[in-house]
Structure 1
């Protein structure tokens, strides 16, 4: 006798269209429904769409509560009927020895266990869905009252949200961050002056009010920590720590390599692309931002060398990242580099902010504690590499501080001329 597999029921996925036919009320008096809606309406509460079907009686239901209340004996009857069928099958099967009967019973119990697990997973899924709906209602209420911010999200929600911002999936829903280097230079200097003084006073442990009373200009807007401005900015205190010449960093009277200007282009390109990818706020996922920066900037991570402006531009335009716009985002970052190079305050602040990003990542690694020996070894190696990269950043910032701003303005003009030339070639091809 051939054994037939037990069918535990199926989920109803599609409904064929039918003509509108009036149906009698189910449990209450109300408007008539169509044949199509009868299939979709929960037969228990008659209020919600039925997305599941009872494997015993094929009753459509919408939730765990409705499944539990649609018939208390339904599940028991399901098990009982199959147990009786199995016992009848075993007793009628001639030639079965005790071992075969035992195997049949074990197979039955396994099918029962699988069914119970499926029902438990369904119940868990409904509980998760209910929690999700409740969470969405909470966020919707915060949004309605204007109180929805990144701080309202859990760490996991914030991570997913920023990831979708970075790859462009929320591009049409999120207000895009306006890069600070696109501001008017005078306005930018004015609106960051208080923050610069604050950073200096934090370093020396003073009070910002005392400094203002000593005659410093107090007309500038007090800047609260915001993604609109860079986290790390170049201050007068930083300037005082700078050496008088590059000889302090290049012993033996050597001069900086002429190719250094091309390397700077890649550093700024990577920084601008990371800032745009994270909508101006890399602090929400410092590790991911640092990974992206070092992946884009081979000058810092792999000691790459570029011999010409064309060489570095082609490399930047061909780089792959998790930004969905791809080549368009890369081209925009090249334009950002031009803008940053034109103004000394933008250039120094961009490099300071790059250092701040890497420093924050260093601090995260230093605070982490791994019990695994291999993980500790990898963390130690990562910290060593980051320390070497920070030395490179100090070198670049010292060089840009000591070099005339006209040199970088000329580089910006060369970069602009090259990109226009590439656009012209692209239009002609």
Structure 2
């Protein structure tokens, strides 16, 4: 850093505009800055542009990308290309291009109509520089630092007030549209005539805790087979039909399973977040709609389990057909996972449908 920048650092001034008090520090060049506008300024362009490109390369390493994510990534690439074009408008039109330079096709054009779940195809579409950047990110071990954190759908909460402002709009219904759709299930009295055990309430909490942890663990991007395997690995109610008589014990059981699991690496901070998430799921978006999040979470788990059941029927690819990426990064597959017991998955689906039916007809 220059002497002038060091002076600004000591005075906590923005090292880019040199006017406002700094609030942030660039993790790459360590310059202090006050706002996103300053971060994107031309003075900091080389550093920020490199950060955005690394983010794109990380996205390419994902094995599971839906159409929406694909379109979002392509839009990001288009915006980056537009910024690069704007930055080259001042180049002398008479300036000759080195004959050794190769004109590269834009990355978003190379990925257009490509199956982004095929890691080998995506890898082959990258240039050597892009491949080197990707490997550098992996070797530095800081992939998590450039991945945006997923915002769970259960964070909204409207507390009941003694005096309600009638002019204040209630947008709860619109917000809840972003939650998983609640599955339609048979009426509870058609499933059983036996009064359910009081432990059913705490068993549901055990399932909620496992769901909350797994969704955070995979940053909201779950692969059905892996997610189902991990849920069963930490949720004894689904895996072993364990019953609980206390909500705290039901949550703590998941905590201990996470710490003991050979499939999961976690820490106490993540487990504390899981405990809080379980509470948020349990209390619901509002006092009048307290069971909504619980039923939505169970419905989403049923969807994940159903997708894993279907995926398990697909025969694995021939080992001889492995491409460059698969050979270079062999651990990106599911070979480390134990085989999924489809009969158990079906029973778990029925159990969670039973739980939703119970919630529809009983007071929680």
TM-score, reference length from structure 2:
0.49
Larger Rg: 1
Name whichever structure is richer in helix by fraction. 1
